[in-house]
Structure 1
Amino acid sequence: MNTAQLLADAYGRIKEVVHGAVEGLAPDELAFRVDPEANSVAWLVWHLARVQDDHVADVSGRPQTWTEQGWDERFGLPFDAADIGYGHSSDEVAEVRQASAELLTGYYDAVHEQTLDYLRTVTDADLDTVVDRRWSPPVTLGVRLVSVISDDLQHAGQAAFIRGVLLRRRG
């Protein structure tokens, strides 16, 4: 297994958790919030897909799937097309409420495919390339790709937890 294959495996695990968290839930369940300030499954999955889309598009020099494939229009959210959800208020989280499981997994799957397509081009030498000098130390490609995996798995796990709460409430 090479580095690109290892990264592809890790991103594949995100996809598994995302699908497991949303499949079979109705839009009102996807929008459920454990308390008024909490994130919903829908917002978490939308956000983690947006982060992956944004960050991988940035390092690959490719357009974001969100706008390139018209997902921004399909979701119809009142956010700027560049918005990835970072720093959203409780009211903004509540805006992601009409998303179906199919819409959420459709967008995530499209982002996942773009990610895998890019990872097929990544070599071990590429991983040391600095992609963001705004941090100290500067962020390398390897660090950025692992950071997205870490962030996305955390959010996918949070979505899976909320799903568990919902299923227990169903009885």
Structure 2
Amino acid sequence: MKYFGEGLSEEHKALNKVIRKKQSTKDAINIFLDIHKQLHRTNIKDREENETDRLFEDLEPREYAIMPGKDDETIAWVVWHIARIEDLTMGILAARGNQLFDEDWSRKINSPIKDTGNALTDEEIISFSKQVNCEELLNYRSAVGEKTREIVSRFTYEDMIRDVNEADLMKIKTEGGVTPQKDSEWLLEFWGNKDVAGLLLMPPTRHVMLHLNDCCKWKEKIRTRTKFFLE
């Protein structure tokens, strides 16, 4: 059942059709930026409320740390997970530069980890979700989104078709973006099989669409049920 992003799948299909066509690079960038904008909270200068705003604007702190069912995660974990993956893949792999996350962000968020959270157990996800500062976590995700937009706005056709660089994958590993655990390290192989266009089609777009849809579903469960898997 779809809870979030009506029409985004169609836009994503349109992006997929043009993203590797040389004559359509500008169109691809514009489509990407339109999809991406809807997946992030709006800023103060552009206060046209979107679905992402409505998802997060009235969440209570405890609601970020509830795992509704045994096959679910928490909203706090999702925000961290999608933000970290976008930061790593866009900043390091797509831009061949640096991630935004640093000791200052780690301190403000109060995160016990710096990887994507893929290998956390259910109990670790709950502990993480209760520990982090969710407002700062949302601020970090917004900052990552702004950086992504700056990066992609400058892309050329040659950037789009460039393969992911092995040295950049190792940089992610060295900086602790993934851990040696199987459930985490597989990400390097997954990203390593893509070109930059392939990255744009997944971590900052499709991947986020799926996870925000989950969050909307969980928000409804949290507000209509009295018993949860973990909290």
Tell me how large the CA RMSD over aligned residues is: 2.4
Q: How many residues align?
A: 167
User: What is the deviation of 1:132?
Assistant: 5.0
Tell me the CA shift for residue 37 of structure 1.
Answer: 5.8
Q: Which protein has the larger Cα radius of gyration, Structure 1 or Structure 2?
A: 2
Unaligned runs of 5+ in 2: 1-25, 41-49, 167-188, 227-231
**Alignment equivalent of 2:84, drawn from 50, 53, 63:** 50
Q: Would the alpha carbon gap of residues 136 and 86 (structure 1) be closer, same or farther in structure 2, given more than 3 Å must change?
A: closer
Aligned partner of residue 97 in structure 1, secondary structure: helix
- Residues 87 and 99 in structure 2, CA contact (< 8 A), matched pair in contact too: yes
Match of 1:5 in 2: 30
Higher RCO (Cα < 8 Å, 6 or more apart)? 1
CA distance in 2 between counterparts of 1:100 and 1:137 reads 32
Find runs of 4+ consecutive structure 1 residues off by over 4 angstroms: 132-137
What are the within-5 Å matches in structure 2 for residues 50-129 of structure 1? 50-58=84-92, 59-67=94-102, 70-79=104-113, 81=114, 83-94=115-126, 95-129=128-162
Letter in 2 for 1:129: R
Deviates more, 1:98-107 or 1:36-45: 98-107
Write the distance in 2 (CA, Å) between the matches of 1:74 and 1:137.
Answer: 31
Q: How many angstroms apart in 2 are the aligned matches of 1:159 and 1:4?
A: 27
Q: How much does 1:43 deviate?
A: 0.8
State the TM-score, normalized to the length of structure 2.
Answer: 0.64
Please name the residue that 1:158 is paired with: 214
Distance in 1, Cα, partners of 2:84 & 2:192:
25
Give the deviation of 1:100 after TM superposition: 5.0
Shift of 1:36: 5.4
Flag structure 1 segments of 5+ consecutive residues without an equivalent.
none
Letter in 2 for 1:12: K
AA aligned to 1:63 is N
Aligned equivalent of 2:199: 144
1:33-71 CA-to-partner distances (Å, cap 9, x unmatched) read 103563111111111111111111112123212217x22
Tell me, in whole angstroms, the C-alpha distance in 2 between the residues paired with 1:100 and 1:78.
11
Percent of residue pairs identical:
21
- Once residues 210 and 28 of structure 2 are traced to their aligned partners in structure 1, the CA distance between those partners, rounded to angstroms, is 22
